[in-house]
Chains A and B, each alone.
Chain A
Amino acid sequence: MDATPVILILVVVLVVYGLAYVFYGKRILEKKVVRASPDRVTPAYEKFDGIDYVPANKYVLYGHHFASIAGAGPIVGPALAMVWGWGLPLIWVLFGNVFIGAVHDYLSMMASVRHGGVSIMSISENVMGRKAKYVFLAYVWFALVLVLAAFFSVASSTFVGTPTAATISVLFMPIALLFGLLVYRTGVSVKTGTVIALVLLILALFYSLNVPLYLTYEAWVVVLSLYSMLAAALPVWYLLQPRDYINAYLLWAFVALAIIGALLTFNYSFTGPIYTSFAGPGTLIGALAGTSTGKASIAYFWPTVPLVIACGALSGFHSVVGSGTTSKQLSNELDALLVGYGGMLTEGAVSSLAVITPIALAWNFAALASATGLPVSEVLLKAGVNTTATPIITGLGGADRFTVGYGLEQAVAWSRIFGPGVFESAFLTFKTFAAWALSAFVLTTLDTSNRLARFAWRELFDWLKPRNELAYKAITNRWVASVIPVVLGAIMAYPKIEVYIPELNKTTVVYAYSIVWPAFAGTNQLLAALALLTAALWAYAIQKVRGGTSLLIMIPALFLWITVTAGLIWWLYAVVPGLPPLYQVGAGTIVAISVVLDFLLIGLFITGLRRARS
C-alpha cells in the first residue's frame, strides 16, 4: 500500500492528455507533419460509393473509431499488467499512448486519406515496395480472422456469464437503426435524433438490468457470426455509423463515471503498491498456469509489456481501422486529429482511469474496508468473491479484476453522496455496467474486424483486376468477402478440442482458436511497430518531414520495433518450450514466421529510408 491519492493520478492523466493533444497532436502532427487542409477533398467524397466510402459527421466518426479500436484490450491488458504494481502499467499507457499509439493511429489514417483511402498495408508499397504490400496484407487478413474467432468466443462467453449484457446488446441495435433512419431518411436533426435515441437507450438499460437473455455459448457463436456478416456487408451509413455514434455515448458515460468516481474518492489513497516486481509470472505472456513456465517469473516488464498491454497504449489493429473504415468516412482533414489522435487518447483514458485507477484503489479489500468503513468483504462475498481466499484483487482473473475494481470504486464514490446504504446496490449495478461496457467494446470491434478483413481481401486481389475483372469482382464481392472470414472465425471459435499437457500429465479442453491465440498479442504489436515505421517513412519520404520532427516519430517507432521484436524472441525462448505440443505447433509457428517477416520488413524499411534520403 502506498499513499498516492486518487486525485493526483486523475490530474496527471488529464494534464498529460490535454498537453499531448494541443502541443504534439495539433501543433506538430497536424500542422508540421500532415499539413492538414480543410480544402482538400477526402476519399469519402472523391470515391463515394454509398457503402464504404461515405462522409460522416466528425463526432459520429469519432464514435465509430473509438468504439472500433477499443475491444477487450484496453481493459483486460492493463488489468492483468497490475501484477507489476500500478506504476509501470500507468507509465506505459501514458507514454505509449502519447508518443506511439495515438501517433500511429493518426498518421495511418492520414496516410490512407492521402492515398485514396487504401490501407496502411497497401501504402507500404509506395515506400517499401510491392512485396511488402502483399506480405503485409496477407498477414493482416489472417490476424483479422483470428480476432473474429477470439471475439466471437469472448462475446459469447460474456453473454453467457452476464446475460443482461446480451439483453442490452440485442435492444441496442434497433435503437441505433432508428437513429440512423431518423437522421438520414426523415431529416430529423442529429441533436433531436440523439435525444430520442438516448432516452430509448436509458429505458433499455433499466429494462436489461432486470431481464436477462439466456442462450448457450454455441448458439451465441452462430448468432454473432450471422450478425458480423450482415453488419460488415451493409452500407456504413445504415448501421455502422449510427450504431457506433450511439454506442460512443454509452462508452463516454463509462469513462465519465470513472472520472466522477476518482473525483468523489479524491482523498483516498490507493490500497495497491506502485511497484511489485520487474518480473511477473509467465502466465502474463501466455505460459500455461500450473506448469513450471507458468509459475516462473519470466514476464519481464521490458520487453514483454507490449505483449500484455495492447490497445490502451498501442495496437496494430488500430492502423487497420484508421486506414480502413475511418479513412473512408473522413469528410474533412481537420476532423482527423480528434478522431485519430483524440480517439486513441480516449482509449488510454479507459485504461488509466477506468481500469488501472479503480483496481489500484480496490487492490487490498481489507485495507479498502478499513479506509472507507464500508462492508467490502460482505458485499463481495454475496457477489461470489471470498475475500479470505482472495484478499487482493490480483487473485481474480483479468476481466473480473476490472468489473470488481470498477464496481467498488463507483460504490465507494456514491456511498459518499448517498450514504453507506447504497454501497451494495451501487456495487452490483456498476459491476454489471462495467461488464456491459466490455461487451459493447467487443461487439463493435467484431463487425468492424470483418469489414476490415473484407477490405484487406479486396486489396489482396487487386492484381487480378487488370487481368480478369470478372473473376476479381466475383472474389471480392462484398458478401463473399464477408462470409469467408466469418466462417473461418466461427470454425475456430465453435469447437472444443482436447489438449494434453505433458508437464501436468493431464488433458484440458479448450476452444480451437486458443491454440493460436497466444500468438496474437505478439503479432498484433508487431503490426503496430511495422505500421508506425511505415507511417514514419511516409512522413519522411512523401511529406518530406525532416529534423527533430521526423526523429520524434522515428525514434519511438524504432524503440517499439526493438521492444516488440525482443519480446517475441523472448517469448519463443522462454514460453514456447513449456507449452503443450499442439500450442507449440500453432502459436509457436505463427510467432516464428512473424519474426522472420519482421526482419524482412525492417530490411525493406531500411532500403526505403535510404532511397528516400538519396
Chain B
Amino acid sequence: MKAKEALGLIITVLSLLIFAYEILYVGLVTRNIGVKGDVATDAILISAGFLLIILGPALWLGEVPTNLKKLVEAKTGRKLS
C-alpha cells in the first residue's frame, strides 16, 4: 500500500468514526447537532467528517476503476496506461 493510500484509509476510518459518533450518538440522544447561533464542537466535528469522508476514499481508492478503463479501451481500441 502506498503512503497516499494509507493516509486515505486512515482519513476514511476517522471520518466514519466521527459520523458514527455524531449521527448515531449525539444526534439520537440530544435530538440536534450543534448549538443554534454558535459554532459548537459537535458541529465542527461533523463538518470535518463531511469533508474528510469526501477526501479519504479519494486518496485510498483514487485510481480510475478497472471496469471504466476496460470500457474505454474496448470502445477506442487504445491501451490505457
A interface residues, Cβ below 8 angstroms from B: 41, 45-46, 48, 50, 54-55, 163, 167, 170-171, 173-174, 177, 181, 184-185, 187, 207, 210-216, 219, 223, 226-227, 230-231, 234-235, 237-239
Residue numbers in A under 8 Å from B57 (CB-CB) = 177, 181, 238
Q: Mark B65-81, 1 if CB is under 8 A from A, else 0.
A: 10111011001100010
Take A173-B53, A177-B54, A238-B62 as given contacts and tell me if A213 and B68 are in contact as well, using a CB distance cutoff of 8 Å: no
Which of B38, B61, B71 is close to A55, meaning CB atoms less than 8 Å apart?
B71
Q: Which 6 A-B pairs have the closest CB atoms?
A: A214-B34, A50-B64, A184-B65, A211-B27, A215-B43, A48-B72
Take A181-B61, A185-B65, A216-B37 as given contacts and tell me if A174 and B75 are in contact as well, using a CB distance cutoff of 8 Å: no
Q: A331 CA to B14 CA in the complex, in Å?
A: 36
Identify 14 residue pairs between A and B in the complex whose beta-carbon atoms are under 8 Å apart, listed by A's number: A45-B76, A50-B64, A55-B72, A173-B54, A210-B31, A212-B33, A213-B34, A214-B40, A215-B34, A215-B47, A219-B44, A227-B50, A237-B65, A239-B54
A187–B32 touching, CB < 8 Å: no
Q: A219 CA to B34 CA in the complex, in Å?
A: 12
B64 to chain A, nearest CB (A): 4
Residue numbers in B under 8 Å from A234 (CB-CB) = 54, 58
Q: How many residues of B contact A (CB 8 A)?
A: 37
Looking at chain B's contact residues, is the secondary structure mostly helix, strand, loop, or mixed?
helix
B23 within 8 A of A: yes
Q: A184 CA to B64 CA in the complex, in Å?
A: 9
Residue numbers in B under 8 Å from A54 (CB-CB) = 68
B55–A215 touching, CB < 8 Å: no
B14 to chain A, nearest CB (A): 13
Chain B, residue nearest A187 (CB): B67
B2 within 8 A of A: no
Chain B, residue nearest A178 (CB): B57
Q: A227 CA to B33 CA in the complex, in Å?
A: 19
B33 to chain A, nearest CB (A): 5
B46 within 8 A of A: yes
B3 within 8 A of A: no
Residue numbers in B under 8 Å from A55 (CB-CB) = 68, 71-72, 75
A48–B53 touching, CB < 8 Å: no
Q: A118 CA to B39 CA in the complex, in Å?
A: 42
A171–B23 touching, CB < 8 Å: yes
- Given pairs A45-B76, A171-B23, 6 additional interface contacts (CB within 8 A): A187-B67, A211-B31, A213-B34, A214-B38, A219-B44, A238-B58
Chain B, residue nearest A174 (CB): B53
Residue numbers in B under 8 Å from A50 (CB-CB) = 64, 68-69
B interface residues, Cβ below 8 angstroms from A: 19, 23, 27-28, 31-40, 43-44, 46-47, 50-51, 53-55, 57-58, 61-62, 64-65, 67-69, 71-72, 75-76, 80
B76–A46 touching, CB < 8 Å: yes
B43–A174 touching, CB < 8 Å: no
Residue numbers in A under 8 Å from B53 (CB-CB) = 173-174, 177
A41–B76 touching, CB < 8 Å: yes
Which of B32, B38, B39, B80 is close to A213, meaning CB atoms less than 8 Å apart?
B32
Residue numbers in B under 8 Å from A213 (CB-CB) = 32-34, 43, 46
Chain A, residue nearest B19 (CB): A174
A133 to chain B, nearest CB (A): 28
A230–B34 touching, CB < 8 Å: no
Q: A219 CA to B36 CA in the complex, in Å?
A: 12
Residue numbers in A under 8 Å from B50 (CB-CB) = 170, 173, 223, 227
Residue numbers in A under 8 Å from B33 (CB-CB) = 167, 211-214
Q: A212 CA to B40 CA in the complex, in Å?
A: 13
Residue numbers in A under 8 Å from B43 (CB-CB) = 213-215, 219
A211–B32 touching, CB < 8 Å: yes
A48–B76 touching, CB < 8 Å: yes
Chain B, residue nearest A44 (CB): B72
B18 to chain A, nearest CB (A): 11
B51–A214 touching, CB < 8 Å: no
Q: A216 CA to B43 CA in the complex, in Å?
A: 10
Chain B, residue nearest A222 (CB): B47
A227–B65 touching, CB < 8 Å: no
Q: A511 CA to B33 CA in the complex, in Å?
A: 27
Chain B, residue nearest A217 (CB): B37
